[in-house]
Amino acid sequence: MSLGLQDRRDVEFLVKDVLDAGRLFGTKRYPDASWETFAMVLDSAYKFAHEQVLPTMIVSDREGVKYENGEVITPPVFKKLYKAWREGGWIAVTESEEHGGSGLPRALSIHPVASLVGANIAFFTMPGLCHGAGEMIEFAGNAAQKKLYVPKLYEGEWGGTMCLTESSAGSDVGAARTTAVKQPDGTWHITGEKIFITWGEQDLTKNIVYPVLARVEGDPAGTGGLTLFLVNKYHVDAQGKLGARNGVKCTGIEHKLGIHGSPTCTISFGDDAPAVGEMLGEQRAGMKVMFKMMNTARIAVGLQALSLAEAAYRYAHQYAIDRLQGAAVDQLKNADAPRIAIIKHPDVRRMLLDMRSTVEGLRALLGFCALQHDLSMSETGEAATNADELAQLLTPLCKGYASEVGFDAVSTSITVLGGHGFLRDHPLEQYLRDTVIARLYEGTTGIQAMDLVGRKLGRRGGLSMMDLLGRMDTTINQAREAGLGKLADRVAVMRAKLGETAMGLGGAAMSGDLNGPLLSATPFMFLMGDAVLSWLHLWMATVAAKSPTQGDFEKNKVVTARHYITQAEGRVRARASAIAAGDRAALEMAFEGE
């Protein structure tokens, strides 16, 4: 399909004209970043994604992963692809030049990464985890650990993963039973089993680094008693030389709905032989370190949802141009009327614009959140703190809300193709299967919603939410000045509903009523997501309306915003009304067998 995986013009408009990411150039954090570097990285990513990554997507899904005698065999096409991925430096593209990255702010680097994700999400999780493990060690490791592990993970010489979930401790991480016992030589023996470990075993790297959450004997129950340890597949000396096999083994893989090319493993520690590890960070601070990776991973999951939604939209868009079916509306009774492209039919156009507005809104959400991360690293004092807190507030939306509406967009793309969309002749059924996992891993949608309502809304007395509402007010005023008064009025309604509902939930929680806010957490997250995307669409439309150039692109930005905002206002009003009603039917229901 000729439309490709990503709308480059929209990417450039967002980062340059809307977010003004260039203000980060030349700062202490990003001294060498430039638009020239961004263009070069984006060009390279597009070329690599379309020429080398995309051709592996369907074949790796059909081949899947095999488990034989404790070993995992990945799709054969991945070996060549992983070599090319490493050589291209794509694992650490979001890092500084010191670590082989582009040195670009994340507000820029997420976009070339998005094109790679959309080309094969099942493969992307492998280098993504290498990066995540390296980032975690860079954050919490001692000097020796950083020197040994970070380069090998960022360069992809060693694989990485994350070992958190257990059969009895999924969302309830604090119930983990894996234990750690200190040895006379200062190392630790780890004993336990972890499940749902993405790329926990594979045949692409010589070694695998396992960051493992475990409880030191005698430490308290709950998440506050967990410590993080580094365990290697093979024993490793201080120079990185691999020795004998460590006491770590894969005991099986999961057979999944989607991401068939990505192995999801059960990993046993200390079963047949001691699993020797070393502590990462401080004792009983494991969750603090793990959340460093998880917050990054949650935004990466949102990026996965965006990438697949955009790939699906662009495929459906091109199909709607090429597919001839039916007559024009004013020729329906004329049996001899020429057949027209389905993109001319009103309902198809509505579906395409639904998808497009979701994609462009999610791109703005993730880009804005990434910009706040960049500002938290490049600014100082209160400005840095405010940026970090705003990023924290929006992270549940970047993961939970984005994964849900991204899935809906992929589902709509299948409807555009009709019965053909249900066939394996087209990639949309795979996109749908692959997108489901975004709603589940790194914390389900419900977990994200509870995090938003239970933790993020009340941080610093609600200052971050007030900051967000203030930014919405500024955009509303600017939109009115740009002649977008009707759209501004609609967003003003949503802004008011968001503020009122947030205050209502906060008040209920402060009164000791936790059931009410938790019942409303997921509906509130959707309300907030719709309101925030409406604000971002209004912002983009305002910039487009003020542009001295008024071509199709600028006009389409306003039209897209109008479509999204008009639809979202009704959803926000309805959800605000339902939450305010405070109905507790779900608590009162007597489910059979409970």
> Active-site residues: which are they?
442
CA dihedral for 354, 359, 364, 370, sign (positive or negative): positive
Q: CB–CB of 270/189 below 8 Å?
A: yes
User: How far does CA 242 lie from the centroid of its chain?
Assistant: 34
Q: How far apart are alpha carbons 276 and 230 in whole angstroms?
A: 9
Look-up of token digits 């057979």? 255
**3-state SS string for 257-279:** CCCCCCCEEEEEECCCCCEEEEE
- Count CB neighbours of 395 within 10 A: 23
Q: CB–CB of 108/33 below 8 Å?
A: yes
Contacts of 90 by beta carbon, 8 Å cutoff, 6+ apart: 45, 48, 113, 116, 127
Tell me the CA distances in angstroms from 497 to 100, 421, 554, one per residue in order: 46, 38, 29
Tell me the CA distances in angstroms from 240 to 83, 137, 146, 236, 583, one per residue in order: 20, 15, 12, 6, 59
In DSSP notation, 465-522 reads: HHHHHHHHHHHHHHHHHTT-HHHHHHHHHHHHHHHHHHHHHHHHHHTT--HHHHHHHH
Q: CB–CB of 279/183 below 8 Å?
A: no
Q: Give the helix/strand (H/E) hosting 232.
A: strand 226-232
Strand-pairing partners, residue 249, are: 268
Q: Give the helix/strand (H/E) hosting 197.
A: strand 188-198
Under DSSP, the state recorded for 341 is B
H helices present in 397-484, as ranges = 402-417, 428-436, 445-451, 463-481
Q: How far apart are alpha carbons 558 and 485 in whole angstroms?
A: 12
**Size of the chain, expressed as the number of residues it contains:** 594
